[in-house]
Structures are given as structure tokens and as C-alpha cells.
A and B are shown apart, each in its own frame.
Chain A
């Protein structure tokens, strides 16, 4: 759970990331600050293109080479990762300190090598383990991620595993080097519900058992409610709201969070229209003035079009970037339908 007195393990300050595409500059991450606390699971949500992957790939130096950190810092263990440039520097972080689990379990595994060989390779690369020691650790890891008969299974090839089992192997490889931070980028999107539920439980258990700190990226709000201690909501390259899961689901403050939650099919009534967010997200090639969500916000204030709102603190753990929280703002309440989220699942 979050404890604000603790030192963050990772601290992002005023981060800007840009990409150059055929001479035009796209501003993908716009002045993002974020603290990640030891032992917590932070979920990042937001629609496609909002910058979830670009932000977290920056922690491992994995963004495409046409992108760069334009401003700001990423502090980890006294180092500023934003200043890292060489592969040699990144290899001290990647896998060892921060590891990543990606969406598609098929493309992340080598089809020509046994599962065991692939885990042993990671162990050799990052921990110098070889031979019997590496084999023993491989069996342990497979056991950790819930694969039965690990000694037989390690000799098999990826195609002999189901999608859910392959995702478990990817997690085992990510854990091979005992990282402190585990980033999961849509790890269950390609899986069906029953398998998804198992993988979510697995990640949840591992985080607690191995004292990991996790970042979980998804646009499935059901998954978020299952895994996250805290939730960060991204819109157009910016974090617009962050708080504990209960705060963000039960007392959301930013109009974009309201809109996102309102469009949940679970809140719909048969035969009635579901809520939809009108318009499209802003073009990140253009300069954005004010609150990026304002053009799509039916209740936008004048100020929203003029000046970017600062973060307003709602509780010590909950804050949002919206002029609605300014003392001069009119009293605009969240949509009525959101009150039903509390009772979902009852």
C-alpha cells in the first residue's frame, strides 16, 4: 500500500518526450511528474495514444530512436535515467532493476528454443548463473509463476504452451533477474477472461510475495480495479488525475476521468444509449493550450481554453489537474451514473 512518508523508488519530474517524424515534432509526453513508491502497484489508464507506453518505455530506454527526452528527469537510485544515452548504461537497468512484460506472448518468445533455454539465457546474461545452478533456478521460477511439472515443461517449446502459459513464461523471464520494478504493458489483452483473471492474480501475488513495485498499463478498467493500489489517468501525454483506486473510481475529479468511467458498459441500461466521449483526442503535433480535454468537455470552463490547470490536492493521496477544483469555479458535479460504480459487483 501507498505510504507517503516513504521515499519513492522512482521519481519522474517535469518530463517531456518528443518524436521527430519526417521533420515534424510530436510532443508525446507533456510535463509529467510522477512518484512510484516501494511495493505499490500503480495502474496507468487512458485511451489509445495517450502516452502510457512511451512514458514507461522511457524508464528502460526502449523508445524508438526518433524520440528523445526533451526536458525533465527520471530519478532512480540516485541516477538520472533521462540522461542515459548508451546501451551500456541502459544494460545496468534493463532486466536487472526494471523489467517489462508485454502484450503479445507469442512475439516475445523465440519459437526455436525451449522454454528452459530462454530462461537460462536471461539468468546467464544478468546473473552469471550457469549449468545446474541455472537449471535449478529455472525450475524455481516456473514454479513461482504456477507452471506445474516444471522439470518436464522447461524442455518444451513455446508452441506446446497455451497463450496463458506463455504469458506465465514471459513473467518468469522478467522475474529471472530479480528486478525491483516490474512494468506490465497490457499483459492480458490478448488472453481470454478466465486466463486473464489467473494472470492478474498471479501478478498480484508475485508483487506481494517478492516485494516488487509494479506499473500496470491497461485500458480495461475492470482489470485496474483488480490490481491497482493507485491509478494514474493519462490524457494527451499528461497525467490529469492520480489517486488511490478507491479515490479514482469512487470520487473521480477530472472531467476526462468522469467521461472514461461513464462509458463503461457495466453502467449502461439495456435499450438505452451508452455514454460516449464526443470528438477525438488532440493532435500532438500541434501546441496544446489550456486543458487538453476542454474541446471534448461539454462543461468546459473559459479558463480551460486559456491556461493549463495546475494540480489541485484533494486529499494527501489524490490530486487532479482541473480548474473545477479552483475556489472560483462553478459547482459542477460528476455525472449521476457514476454513483452506481460503488454498487457494481454487489
Chain B
């Protein structure tokens, strides 16, 4: 269980905008959440909802147009000192979605894995760098001699491990994992998930785990936030979310999970989300904590209905 003291990462009213003037497009529209040290925080939503954008904005790849990101007590968004920038670059790392496309094909594994060190640890010797590469590779279950090979010589699961080694070599404390297993097949998925869990235990890592596969998230996430068109619509502890999904979009997502069991797979009804069910003209929605730790985006009337539902299902 995560320690509920200080949030380790805090995203406050994050807005991210792309394009200029008439082409302005707000991909993230006022998102707030806290991640505690040692937990795995899930972010789920459909394609284009802004998941990757949030991850990249935390990593300072995209600037925020409003709001802020606090990391371990310090603001890291906007203008920051170069010393803090170096520290953040080392302490926060990202694992990318597609292991086939995200590695530089012309570079050897050795360079790919140690690239990040050139920015934050310029002074280190070649021997030291090689030792760290060997350590990082063996930590993810690859042989140190793989360092002299090229990415195309590896399978999908091995390539994803290389991507993880590249993040680990920086000795980060917080990792944004953007769909780290979506491109892998079932048997390799299990390997990568085990590896991430083992590293988390050993190094007390904190993860932001981005995915659209709720069945996998249920297995690894402590808490899950649901995002729709750049806004969070629900956030809660994982089991609570599966037991009492409140927002109609969350329900639609849950109804779409394909269960690997023929007798149940086809019996479930597919719920479509129709945003016009909300009547927000006179009573606009607010981010509301309905029960401790369970947040939902809803207006007064909706929240009253959600409360009734929770009370109803709590009775025996």
C-alpha cells in the first residue's frame, strides 16, 4: 500500500494546448491528480484522450499552458533552474509505447542504453559507463554482451527490456510507462509486467502506467484515473472502480473489456457512452470526492444520484 503522506507527484489543473490561434487545440483541459511514493497510478482512456500528452508534459517535453506539476515538493513545470532541470531529467524517466519504433535502429544497444547519461553525468569514465550499461542490462534479464548488438537483432519483448534498461540506468525514482505492453503478445506481456513489478519492489519505484487495457491495469495499478477528451471523469482505488464505476464513460469502458472466457464473453452488454446524457447548461460539473478517495466529474444532480447508488449497493 502506498504511504498516504505527501504526494510524490502532483499535477494541478494541467492544461496543454497545441497549435496557434484558429488551430488552437486544448488536448489536456484542467487535469489534477496526486501520485504517492511507491504506488502504480493508472491513466486510462480512449485513443486521443490526452494520456501521452499528460505523460510528456510531466517530463517537460511539452510545456503547460496553465497549471503546474510538483515533484517531490518542488515545482518542475515552467521556468526552472538548470540544476533542478538536471535533477528532474535524472529522477523521472519514460518507457515508450512501441518497442519496434522507439529504439534508434542505427545505434548499438550500448549507446541506446547509456544515451541519457551523457546529459546528466558528463564526467564519467568509459569504464564506469560500460559497467553501468552491463548492470542495467542484467537487471532487466539481458546478457551484458548484448551491448554490442543492434536493435533489429532482438524480439519485441527483448526490445521493450532494452527500453526499460535505458530508463533504469538513470536510477530514476518515477517512471512514466506509456502503454509499455500494448504492442507485445500475451506471453511476453507477462514477462514485462513481472519485471516492472520486481523493479518496483527492489527500487521502490513509482509508476504512472498509461494504457487502454483495463484488464491489465486491474492487475497492477493501485489507483486508476479515467480520462475522456482531455478531462478526468473519475479516479479511485482500483477495486473500488471495478465495483462501483460511477461515470457513464467509465461504465462504457468496463463493459468493453473482452473477458477470456467464452461463456461470459458474449453475454455482457456493450454500453456506449453518449455525452449528451449530461445536462450541464444550468448546473455545471465539478470534480467531487464522493467517498474517501473516489472522485467523479459530475454536477449536483448527478452526484446525488451517484451517492444514492453507492449507499444502495453498500446495504446487504
- Whether the pair B259, A263 counts as a contact (CB closer than 8 A) is no
- A268–B217 Cα distance when bound, in Å, is 11
Q: Which residues of A contact B268 (CB under 8 A)?
A: 345
Q: Note all chain B residues with C-beta closer than 8 A to A194.
A: 46, 252-253, 256, 272-273
Chain A residue numbers with a CB within 8 Å of B261 are: 225, 249, 341-345
Stretch at the interface among A19-27, A85-93, A124-132, A197-205: A197-205
Q: Are A342 and B270 in contact (CB under 8 A)?
A: no
B190/A225 in contact, CB under 8 A: no
Q: Is A245 at the interface (CB under 8 A from chain B)?
A: yes
The smallest C-beta distance from B178 to any residue of chain A, in angstroms, reads: 14
B-binding segment of A8-16, A66-74, A270-278: A270-278
| B186 close to A264 (CB less than 8 A) | yes
Bound Cα distance from A336 to B88, whole angstroms: 46
**Quick check: B191 and A276 within 8 Å, CB to CB?**
yes
Residue with the greatest number of chain A CB neighbours at <10 A, chosen from B185, B215, B220, B268: B185
Q: Which residues of A contact B46 (CB under 8 A)?
A: 192-195
How many A-B residue pairs have C-beta atoms within 8 angstroms? Tell me. 128
A83 at the interface (CB under 8 A from B): no
Q: Is there a chain A Cβ closer than 8 Å to B213's Cβ?
A: yes
Interface residue stretch chosen among A106-114, A169-177, A214-222, A283-291: A214-222
Residue pair B262, A265 in contact (C-beta under 8 Å):
no
B189, CB-defined interface residue at 8 Å: yes
**A246 sits at the interface (CB 8 A):** yes
| Bound form: Cα–Cα A346–B267 in Å | 10
Contact with B along A184-215 (1 / 0, CB 8 A): 00000001111111101100000000000000
B284 within 8 A of A: no
Closest to A273 in B: B194
Find residues 225-283 in chain B having any chain A CB closer than 8 Å to their own CB.
252-253, 255-268, 270, 272-273
Query: Roughly how many angstroms separate A10 CA and B198 CA in the complex, as a whole number?
Result: 47
Contact check, B259 vs A192: say whether CB atoms are below 8 A apart: no
Chain A, residues 52-67, CB within 8 Å of chain B (1/0): the string is 0000000000000000
Is residue A300 contacting chain B, with contact meaning CB distance below 8 A? no
User: With A and B bound together, what is the CA distance between A318 and B263 in angstroms?
Assistant: 17
Interface size on A, residues (CB 8 A): 48
Residues A346 and B190 in contact in the complex (CB < 8 Å), given A193-B253, A196-B256: no
Quick check: A259 and B187 within 8 Å, CB to CB?
A: yes
Contacts of A221 in B (CB 8 A): 186, 260
Residues of A within 8 A of B252 (CB): 194
Question: What is the predominant secondary structure among interface residues of chain B facing chain A?
Answer: helix
**Per-residue contact bits, chain B 194-226, to A (CB 8 Å; 1 contact, 0 not):** 100110000000000000111110111000000
- Residues of A with C-beta under 8 A to B119: none
- The CA-CA distance from A226 to B255 in the complex, in Å, is 13
Residues of B within 8 A of A246 (CB): 262-263
B186 in complex: contacting residue of A195, A263, A280, A341, CB < 8 Å: A263
The residue of chain A having its C-beta at the shortest distance from the C-beta of B212 within the complex is: A192
Chain B residues with CB under 8 Å of A342's CB are 261, 263
Cβ–Cβ < 8 Å partners of B259 in chain A: 222, 225-226, 266, 344-345
Is A239 an interface residue, CB under 8 A from the partner?
no
Q: Is the CB of A266 within 8 A of B213?
A: no
B219: chain A residues at CB < 8 Å are 265-266, 268, 270, 274
Bound-complex Cα distance A222 to B197 (A): 23
Docked Cα-Cα span, A226 to B185, in Å, equals 18
Give A263's nearest chain B residue, CB to CB.
B190
Cβ contacts A242-277/B at 8 Å (1 or 0 each) = 000110011000000001110111101011011111
Contact between A220 and B262, CB atoms less than 8 A apart: no
With a 10 A CB-CB cut-off, give which of A224, A266, A280 has the most chain B CB atoms.
A266
A261 CA to B255 CA, complexed, in Å:
22
Given A197-B270, A344-B264: A263 touches B187 (CB 8 Å cut-off): yes
Whether A47 sits at the interface, judged by CB under 8 Å, is yes
A223 to B186, CA, bound (A): 12
In the complex with contacts A280-B155, A344-B264, A220-B189 CB distance below 8 A: no
* A276–B257 touching, CB < 8 Å: no
- CB-defined A-B contacts under 8 Å, sample of 8: A221-B186, A249-B260, A250-B262, A266-B259, A273-B194, A277-B187, A341-B261, A345-B259
Known: A47-B188, A194-B256. 5 other contacts (CB 8 A): A193-B212, A193-B256, A273-B197, A274-B193, A345-B264
Nearest 7 A-B pairs (CB), nearest first?
A222-B258, A345-B264, A345-B259, A197-B256, A225-B265, A263-B190, A245-B262
